[in-house]
Amino acid sequence: MSGNSFGKLFTVTTFGESHGPAIGCVIDGCPPGLALTEADIQPELDRRKPGTSRHVTQRQEPDAVQILSGVYEGFTTGTPIALLIRNEDQRSKDYGNIVESFRPGHADYTYWHKYGVRDPRGGGRSSARLTAPVVGAAAIAKKWLKEQYGTEFAGCMRQLGDIAVPFQDFAHVSANPFFAATADAALIAQMETYMDELRKAGDSIGARIDVVARNVPVGLGQPIYDKLDADIAYAMMGINAVKGVEIGAGFASVAQRGSEHGDELTPQGFVGNHAGGVLGGISTGQDITVSIAIKPTSSIRTPRRSIDKAGNPVTVETFGRHDPCVGIRATPIAEAMLALVLMDHALMHRAQCGDVRVATPDIAGKH
């Protein structure tokens, strides 16, 4: 209840700090009988891991995952699955200069005031490194959802600072360092130049990411507070640096009329998906579409005004290894959070209404 567990029935409890000996999580509630090895999890961690291009942090972490429990002879047993990831490339001295003062835009200030103590090494618990365990846990959720319902997840960058990134096809996402769903080589080159200049300037930039779930069973979600879209908003806003979340038409809904926004139905399915796959907090069986805004990294080399713990004015420049755009690596993280939400709601639905017999009725999913 102190905020380090995600999910009610497929519950992921994470632990660890950026520069401690290890990070990891315990997954409680995974159904028994799922075939599972580290090889099912590692690819998702590899998509998220640092050091894969010059545009992200140069910290070198293999992020090799070890399953400590909950799997016997290759199948889940229904008992907790513990995942362990060793931290290999800690360089605590990089952070020596920010122990006594607060980086603008960073959690330094609030952790200090909340707890009266904080681990300053690499941001401690507030580091985006702590998204690794949930990406690992979500790999398990993805596998189960895929086997049960055929549910699949995809995501891509749609905006990098001022640069809009048109959507072509998710197939392109793995072919460039930005998770851009485009084959436009000129655009990719423009993005690379943009990032190179930012890095030289010692500054950082925001991004917008879209994620989608396909082949979602109809009926997932609880109607009043644990609405599917409410839980998605919670999951997404909980990702480091996220400042905004949209479902379906999102903020564009403000200027829409009801006759335009409300997706009509025909015997062949829904006509349009302004709803983003959720009506009244419950999945329609259409694609679930989510868009998130990610703020620029707070740790930058540009000198900034701040104060120290005693309240004296100081100038802060943050060296060390930081992502100049945390949005770049956010795509697999956002997919992971969406998968965890759907997994939890799939189990919750099963508790209240029994097994889902039809993943998507004939009239849904066509749009």
Shortest distance in whole angstroms from residue 21 CB to a second copy: 6
Give the whole-angstrom CA distance, residue 72 versus residue 90.
33
Taking the C-alpha atoms of residue 169 and residue 286, their distance in angstroms, rounded to an integer, is: 18
Q: Is 273 in the site for a second copy (CB under 8 A)?
A: no
Nearest-10 Cα torsion for 334, 293, 325, 321: -70
284 in contact with a second copy (CB under 8 A): yes
- Residues 138, 181, 198, 336: which binds a second copy (CB under 8 A)? 198
Q: How far is residue 355 from each of residues 148, 149, 231, 283, 362, measured CA to CA in Å? A: 10, 11, 21, 16, 18
> Which span (49-57, 171-179, 183-191, 306-314) binds a second copy, by CB under 8 A?
306-314
Q: Is 32 in the site for a second copy (CB under 8 A)?
A: yes
Cα–chain center distance at 47: 12
Query: 44 vs 231, which CB is nearer to a second copy?
Result: 231
Shortest distance, position 305 Cβ to a second copy, whole Å:
4
Query: In this structure, what token pair is assigned to residue 242?
Result: 């996220």
| Pairing between β-strand 313-316 and β-strand 71-72 as defined by DSSP bridges | unpaired
| Bridge partners, 156 (sequence order) | 210
DSSP, residue by residue, 123-140: GGGGSGGGHHHHHHHHHH
Question: In the set 44, 204, 328, 329, which binds a second copy (CB under 8 A)?
Answer: 204
Q: Is 101 a known ligand-binding residue?
A: no
Contact by Cβ (8 Å): 77, 71:
yes
- Show the tokens assigned to 292: 């998130």
- The answer to whether the annotation marks 295 as part of a ligand binding site is yes
In the bound state with a second copy, the residue whose beta carbon lies nearer, of 327 and 332, is 327
**Two tokens, residue 324:** 């100049």
Minimum CB separation of residue 175 from a second copy in Å reads 23
- Round to whole Å and give the CA distance between 132 and 333: 8
Does residue 117 belong to the site contacting a second copy (CB under 8 A)? Answer: yes
Residue 22 Cβ vs a second copy, minimum distance, rounded to whole Å:
5
Interface with a second copy includes 334 (CB under 8 A)? no
Candidates 40-48, 102-110, 166-174, 187-195: pick the segment binding a second copy (CB under 8 A): 102-110
Assess 31 for contact with a second copy (CB under 8 A).
yes
Identity of the residue, 126 or 185, whose beta carbon is nearer to a second copy in the bound complex? 126
Binding residues: 48, 54, 125-127, 240-241, 280, 295-299, 321
Binding residues for FMN: 125-127, 240-241, 280, 295-299, 321
